[in-house]
Structure 1
Amino acid sequence: MPDRLIVINGMAGSGKTTLARPLAAALGVPLIAKDAIKEALGDAVSVSLPTRSIGALATDALWRIVGMLDGTVMVESVWLTGRDEEWFRRGWESVGAPRGIELWCSAPHEVMRERFLTRVRHAVHDDASRIDDWEAAARVAAPITGLTTLHVDTSQPVDIGRLAAHVRQTLESDTHA
């Protein structure tokens, strides 16, 4: 089981995936991304399932994969305020409740909304029919893990080397991380 967890969280369109891949590489840690699992499940299942059902399966798979890894592990997903606190807690506890850090990705509302509406994604996400849900979630979105949180402004390119150094320092010095 992992001894440290780096949680990349934020609204859909906040830049989580764009940030997570190079940050995981810079830190030399495995990245387990819920959307990659969700898309693979969407490709593998011949029956049309609601996106939230596939998302729940993907989240369960994410935590099972994380539980098989040692050391520091990065996870990337959307864990929404008022909806996902219990799901996150259960998953986190299932992998031994490791110390860690949450990177909360954000950008101005209009930037994230435009990204959400214009990005090309796998059909399993069904983004076009979920804009009302996105708007409601965006009004209350906030970090939910209870871990030490670093806020990352993703409205402009992020200096990955600098952020990686900050994450390393926080993980090494924070008794809660």
Structure 2
Amino acid sequence: MLGCPFLSKDRIKEPLADVVGPMIGSRELGGIAMDSMWSMARAVENGVVLDAVWLPARDRDRLEAGLTTAGSPRAVEVWCHVDRVTAAERLRDRYEPGTLPVRHEVHGDLTDVLAFWDEHGDTAEPVALPGVPVVRVDTGRPYDVGALVQEIAAHFV
């Protein structure tokens, strides 16, 4: 709807994991995927949508460096949020047997993922870099995708 490519860290990380197997740990491989995503963003003209979890305490420096790598003078952070109970239910659903697509093993098992969010969930918030507007989306209720696209696009006019 925004008319630009969608680059997802996980869609880059998962095939890399298939190539290297357990030789590179999940977190380090995630960093490699993130660096690759920013390099690809630089190669694309007219903007991209990047999909990843960025946490302020963990990722602020990487996000600033990524924007520099991409050569992007403008960015918008879209912060999707939902209450912790709903988030945990959604995670459990992604690991439910028979769910398609099957969750890639590089992400660890459900216990690992829930432990990550137990550790970081209370501090999860937008990175909110200076000069980067934040658009908040409550994914716990229906939202108007068209209005969201217009809100994001308005920052690039």
* TM-score band w.r.t. shorter chain: 0.7 to 0.9
Q: 2:141 aligns with which of 127, 149, 156?
A: 156
**Moved beyond 4 Å, runs of 4+:** none
1:76-115 alpha-carbon deviations (Å, 9 max, x no partner): 1011121111111111111124212111000111111221
Paired with 2:66 and 2:128, the residues of 1 have a C-alpha distance of 11
Counterpart of 2:155 in 1: which secondary structure? helix
Report the counterpart of residue 3 of structure 2 in structure 1. 28
Q: 2:50 aligns with which of 67, 75, 78?
A: 75
Structure label with greater radius of gyration: 2
The reply to whether residue 167 of structure 1 matches residue 142 of structure 2 is no
The reply to whether residue 42 of structure 1 matches residue 17 of structure 2 is yes
Kindly state the Cα deviation for residue 48 of structure 1 after the two structures are TM-superposed. 4.2
Paired with 1:127 and 1:78, the residues of 2 have a C-alpha distance of 18
Alignment gaps of 5+ in structure 2: 96-102
The reply to whether residue 124 of structure 1 matches residue 99 of structure 2 is no
Q: TM-score if structure 2 supplies the norm length?
A: 0.86
Q: TM-score if structure 1 supplies the norm length?
A: 0.77
Paired with 1:28 and 1:97, the residues of 2 have a C-alpha distance of 17
8 A contact 1:66–1:95 mirrored in 2: yes
8 A contact 1:27–1:164 mirrored in 2: yes
Q: 1:54 aligns with which of 15, 29, 43?
A: 29
1:101-134 alpha-carbon deviations (Å, 9 max, x no partner): 1110001111112212331411111142232221
> How is 1:91-106 mapped onto 2 (pairs within 5 angstroms)?
91-106=66-81
* Identity %, equivalent residues: 32
38-47 or 84-93, which deviates more: 38-47
1:114-160 alpha-carbon deviations (Å, 9 max, x no partner): 21233141111114223222112110011114110011011123321
Report the counterpart of residue 98 of structure 2 in structure 1. none
Counterpart of 2:50 in 1: which secondary structure? strand
Alignment gaps of 5+ in structure 1: 1-25, 173-177
Paired with 1:84 and 1:127, the residues of 2 have a C-alpha distance of 23
Q: Which has the higher contact order (CA 8 A, sep 6+)?
A: 1
Equivalent residue pairs, number: 147
Counterpart of 2:150 in 1: which secondary structure? helix
Kindly state the Cα deviation for residue 170 of structure 1 after the two structures are TM-superposed. 2.9
The reply to whether residue 90 of structure 1 matches residue 73 of structure 2 is no
Counterpart of 1:27 in 2: which secondary structure? coil
